[in-house]
Amino acid sequence: MRLTETQRIEILIMLGCGEKTRTHNEVRIMFNNKYPNREPVSQSTISRIEAKWRETGTVKDLGKPGRPGVPNDKKLDILVSLNENPNLSSTQLALDNTVHR
Protein backbone atom coordinates (compact mmCIF):
# COMPACT_ATOMS: atom_id res chain seq x y z
CA MET A 1 0.00 0.00 0.00
CA ARG A 2 1.38 3.38 -1.01
CA LEU A 3 2.03 6.05 1.55
CA THR A 4 -0.03 9.21 1.29
CA GLU A 5 1.74 12.52 0.84
CA THR A 6 0.77 13.40 4.43
CA GLN A 7 2.36 10.18 5.73
CA ARG A 8 5.57 10.91 3.80
CA ILE A 9 5.72 14.39 5.35
CA GLU A 10 5.09 12.83 8.74
CA ILE A 11 8.08 10.54 8.20
CA LEU A 12 10.28 13.57 7.44
CA ILE A 13 9.05 15.25 10.62
CA MET A 14 9.82 12.08 12.59
CA LEU A 15 13.36 12.10 11.15
CA GLY A 16 13.80 15.56 12.64
CA CYS A 17 16.54 18.08 12.03
CA GLY A 18 19.47 19.63 13.85
CA GLU A 19 20.39 17.86 17.08
CA LYS A 20 17.05 16.03 17.40
CA THR A 21 17.47 13.64 14.51
CA ARG A 22 16.45 9.99 14.54
CA THR A 23 17.82 7.05 12.59
CA HIS A 24 15.84 5.54 9.74
CA ASN A 25 15.30 2.44 11.85
CA GLU A 26 13.92 4.48 14.78
CA VAL A 27 11.52 6.26 12.42
CA ARG A 28 10.46 2.95 10.89
CA ILE A 29 9.58 1.58 14.33
CA MET A 30 7.75 4.79 15.35
CA PHE A 31 5.76 4.93 12.12
CA ASN A 32 4.81 1.25 12.19
CA ASN A 33 3.72 1.56 15.84
CA LYS A 34 1.59 4.60 14.98
CA TYR A 35 -0.10 2.79 12.06
CA PRO A 36 -0.41 -0.84 13.20
CA ASN A 37 -3.25 -1.65 10.75
CA ARG A 38 -1.31 -0.82 7.59
CA GLU A 39 1.44 -2.78 5.91
CA PRO A 40 4.69 -1.96 7.75
CA VAL A 41 7.19 0.32 6.04
CA SER A 42 10.80 -0.76 5.66
CA GLN A 43 13.93 1.15 6.53
CA SER A 44 14.68 1.50 2.81
CA THR A 45 11.29 3.21 2.32
CA ILE A 46 12.29 5.79 4.93
CA SER A 47 15.66 6.24 3.18
CA ARG A 48 14.03 6.70 -0.24
CA ILE A 49 11.56 9.28 1.08
CA GLU A 50 14.37 11.29 2.66
CA ALA A 51 16.53 11.03 -0.48
CA LYS A 52 13.65 12.14 -2.70
CA TRP A 53 12.99 15.14 -0.45
CA ARG A 54 16.68 16.13 -0.43
CA GLU A 55 16.95 15.74 -4.21
CA THR A 56 13.67 17.33 -5.35
CA GLY A 57 12.44 19.33 -2.35
CA THR A 58 9.12 17.49 -2.44
CA VAL A 59 7.61 14.15 -1.50
CA LYS A 60 4.90 14.31 -4.17
CA ASP A 61 4.72 11.62 -6.81
CA LEU A 62 6.46 12.89 -9.90
CA GLY A 63 4.98 12.40 -13.35
CA LYS A 64 5.78 9.18 -15.09
CA PRO A 65 8.12 9.39 -18.09
CA GLY A 66 7.04 8.28 -21.53
CA ARG A 67 4.10 8.74 -23.80
CA PRO A 68 0.90 9.80 -22.03
CA GLY A 69 -1.95 7.30 -21.95
CA VAL A 70 -5.14 7.56 -23.99
CA PRO A 71 -7.95 9.29 -22.04
CA ASN A 72 -11.02 7.17 -21.22
CA ASP A 73 -13.32 9.22 -23.47
CA LYS A 74 -11.01 8.54 -26.43
CA LYS A 75 -10.97 4.83 -25.59
CA LEU A 76 -14.76 4.84 -25.68
CA ASP A 77 -14.74 6.63 -29.06
CA ILE A 78 -12.36 3.99 -30.42
CA LEU A 79 -14.57 1.15 -29.17
CA VAL A 80 -17.63 2.76 -30.77
CA SER A 81 -15.73 3.17 -34.06
CA LEU A 82 -14.65 -0.47 -33.97
CA ASN A 83 -18.17 -1.60 -33.18
CA GLU A 84 -19.55 0.37 -36.12
CA ASN A 85 -16.79 -0.76 -38.51
CA PRO A 86 -14.74 -3.77 -37.31
CA ASN A 87 -12.58 -3.66 -40.47
CA LEU A 88 -10.89 -0.34 -39.63
CA SER A 89 -7.11 -0.43 -39.51
CA SER A 90 -5.21 0.81 -36.48
CA THR A 91 -3.86 3.67 -38.59
CA GLN A 92 -7.35 4.77 -39.62
CA LEU A 93 -8.61 4.44 -36.02
CA ALA A 94 -5.75 6.64 -34.81
CA LEU A 95 -6.40 9.23 -37.50
CA ASP A 96 -10.17 9.26 -36.91
CA ASN A 97 -9.73 9.66 -33.16
CA THR A 98 -6.62 11.91 -33.15
CA VAL A 99 -4.58 9.36 -31.23
CA HIS A 100 -0.90 8.78 -31.96
CA ARG A 101 0.05 5.16 -32.57
* Mean per-residue pLDDT of the chain: 89
Listed as ranges, residues in the chain with pLDDT below 70 are 100-101
**40 and 83 inside one domain:** no
Q: What is the count of structural domains for the chain? A: 2
pLDDT of 100 reads 66
Distance of alpha carbon 33 from alpha carbon 13, whole angstroms: 16
Distance of alpha carbon 31 from alpha carbon 34, whole angstroms: 5
* Parent domain of 85: 64-101
Q: Helix axis angle, 5-15 relative to 43-56, nearest 10°?
A: 90
**76 and 41 inside one domain:** no
**47 and 74 inside one domain:** no
pTM, rounded to two decimals: 0.63
**68 and 51 inside one domain:** no
**52 and 75 inside one domain:** no
Half-sphere exposure of 57 (CA within 13 A, CB side): 0
